[in-house]
Chain A
Amino acid sequence: SQKIEQNSEALNIQEGKTATLTCNYTNYSPAYLQWYRQDPGRGPVFLLLIRENEKEKRKERLKVTFDTTLKQSLFHITASQPADSATYLCALHSGGGADGLTFGKGTHLIIQP
């Protein structure tokens, strides 16, 4: 069966360090992978999208990699700040013409001052 796995344990990072979050998937052949941020009491907010032929994508302090051989995406936040504390979700399309995204359960990131 298709699975998207993210580290369910909270990730504690000291302010100023780089936070790295992992998304692993099985039984998918995605052409794209998306990352979202979710704050308490709010809906997920789109951050970045990466295509299968892109090894890396950057947006300000964010960087995403996509390794289709390892079936893994890494999400990096450099120079992390307490305001980066949130839950981060990765998402894929299941294919077969479906249009809905399937989400991982997310990783809760805590940036400590």
Chain B
Amino acid sequence: DAGVIQSPRHEVTEMGQEVTLRCKPISGHDYLFWYRQTMMRGLELLIYFNNNVPIDDSGMPEDRFSAKMPNASFSTLKIQPSEPRDSAVYFCASSPRRGQNSPLHFGNGTRLTVT
């Protein structure tokens, strides 16, 4: 399996622009997670889906952030409008089942820079 695939790997945009990050989870994994990583705050859970349905979006920082999962093989995280403080590495992860004993499989992230 190719693992979790994220695109783009790098995104540089100007403040106020819309940004869309993409994720393809591992086939057969029912859970999909979006995380953000910064030096100051570490890895933060933004939102997660089960069977394409958003379950918990309490980590989404503001209404500027939105996430969708139109089917089992694709998810997007959108920021509109983007701000410099959104600069971070955004990771997508998938898991085959629920529960504390289920490891996460991460993609290699999208490094977002908002100028």
Bound: A49/B100 CA distance, A? 9
Given contacts A32-B100, A104-B42, 11 further A-B contacts (CB under 8 A): A31-B101, A43-B108, A44-B106, A89-B43, A92-B100, A99-B48, A99-B98, A100-B56, A100-B59, A101-B45, A103-B42
Q: Which residues of A contact B99 (CB under 8 A)?
A: 99
Number of interface residues of B (CB under 8 A): 26
Q: Which residues of A contact B33 (CB under 8 A)?
A: 100-101
Write the residues of chain B forming the contact surface with A, with a CB cutoff of 8 angstroms: 4, 31, 33, 42-43, 45, 48, 50, 55-56, 59, 91, 93, 95, 98-109
17 contacts between A and B (CB under 8 A): A31-B101, A32-B100, A32-B101, A43-B106, A44-B91, A46-B105, A98-B56, A99-B50, A99-B55, A99-B98, A100-B45, A100-B56, A100-B59, A101-B33, A101-B45, A104-B42, A105-B42
